[in-house]
Amino acid sequence: METETVPRAMVTTSGELRERTAQARAAGKLIGLVPTMGALHEGHLSLIRRARAECGFVVVTIFVNPTQFPPGEDFERYPRDLAGDEAKARAAGADLIFAPPTSEIYPPDDSTFVEVTGPLVECLCGPHRPGHFRGVTTVCARLFNLVGPDRAYFGEKDYQQLLVIKQMVRDLHFPLAVVPVPTVREADGMAMSSRNSYLSPEERKAATALHRALSRAEEQVEHGERSAAALLAGVKEMIASEPLVSLQYVELRDAETLDALTALDRPAVLAVAVFVGKARLIDNVVIAR
Ligand code: AMP
């Protein structure tokens, strides 16, 4: 009797990955890529489900990318749960999970980085996380080359990252579409993030100030507010009222170029970064008017 081998759901080497994506391509399937650092939550799963709906073969990568953590950040203690992630990713529709060791992505003798330069990376998180976006674009360029996706899915939660990736894809002529996916939130409005696991119950409650502040700004806009200074002051006030939350930045910027705005005269993004205990958290709202 012939035994049928069931293809493995998780692979760790680029050779196995390429074999599987080549088979999918040969079968005429569109390849969707969802890059993640694991500790998967509903935000990640919404990206995977979207990819499932749009592509014939869905690859989820799970790789805690060391180059995107500036020195002193949380690389070592970043949450890791590969077994749980595999089950969740498969249930959401992943065909293949690529969970490589660091040496598979960064061979010991490598010496190439990919870096977007200019205004997109010189504001918001850029100055606060030196080297971060260079790490992100480098790993994404390598993953794009390894997977060869037709579509790659990124969350609007990391809004600046999304714009930086789009820029890299345009500039380097990667033959793929970058698909933005809306931020998934908890019932109380808090944006889902793997880093929320760092929060004590008390900190978790205080951290809702982030979403409350952004929601209030949206309400102000609905009531006709157009001044950046007024919107930023409102956010600062709300954050300051929570002793457990400290503001790193809040900025109103052009939704495409990230140019600083003094007035809401075009589509804009209101982006915030805070510290709550050990966790650095970001959130944003896009204001279309
Ligand atoms: P990470 O594992 O944090 O690198 O995130 C992997 C991908 O999931 C990125 O494209 C993120 O923007 C996206 N993502 C993270 N959190 C959320 C969320 N709450 N809603 C939607 N997408 C998210």
What integer pLDDT is reported at residue 1 of this predicted model?
55
Instruction: Single out the residue of 169, 148, 147, 178 nearest to residue 17, CA to CA.
Output: 147
Tell me what the mean pLDDT of segment 101-123 comes to: 98
Give residue-wise pLDDT tens across range 180-232.
999 999 999 999 999 999 999 999 999 999 999 999 999 999 999 999 999 99
Work out the pLDDT band at 31, boundaries 50, 70, 90.
very high
Distance, in Å, from the CA atom of 262 to the CA atom of 259, rounded to the nearest integer, reads: 10
Cβ distance 253 to 260 under 8 Å?
Answer: yes
Work out the pLDDT band at 3, boundaries 50, 70, 90.
low
Work out the pLDDT band at 252, boundaries 50, 70, 90.
very high
What integer pLDDT is reported at residue 97 of this predicted model?
98
Q: How far is the CA of 29 from the centre of ligand 1 (A)?
A: 25
Cβ of residue 95 lying under 6 Å from some atom of ligand 1? no
Give residue-wise pLDDT tens across range 140-177.
999 999 999 999 999 999 999 999 999 999 999 999 99
Cβ of residue 136 lying under 6 Å from some atom of ligand 1? no
Percentage of the chain beyond pLDDT 90 is 96
Distance, in Å, from the CA atom of 27 to the CA atom of 30, rounded to the nearest integer, reads: 9
Q: What pTM value is reported for the model? A: 0.97
What integer pLDDT is reported at residue 5 of this predicted model?
77
Ranges 4-18, 182-196, 237-251, 265-279: which has the least confidence: 4-18
Atom of ligand 1 nearest to the CA of 44: 8
- β-strand pairing of 96-98 with 57-62: parallel
Computed over every residue of the chain, the mean pLDDT equals 97
Cβ of residue 141 lying under 6 Å from some atom of ligand 1? no
Q: How far is the CA of 3 from the centre of ligand 1 (A)?
A: 39
To the query of whether residue 223 is one of the catalytic residues in this protein, the response is no
What integer pLDDT is reported at residue 7 of this predicted model?
82
Work out the pLDDT band at 273, boundaries 50, 70, 90.
very high
- Amino acid letter, 91: A
Atom of ligand 1 nearest to the CA of 34: 7
Q: How far is the CA of 155 from the centre of ligand 1 (A)?
A: 5
Which of 36, 48, 214, when mutated, tests ligand 1's pocket best, judged by the most ligand atoms within 8 Å of its CB? Answer: 36
Q: How far is the CA of 80 from the centre of ligand 1 (A)?
A: 15
Take residue 261 and report the two structure tokens written for it. 């705005």
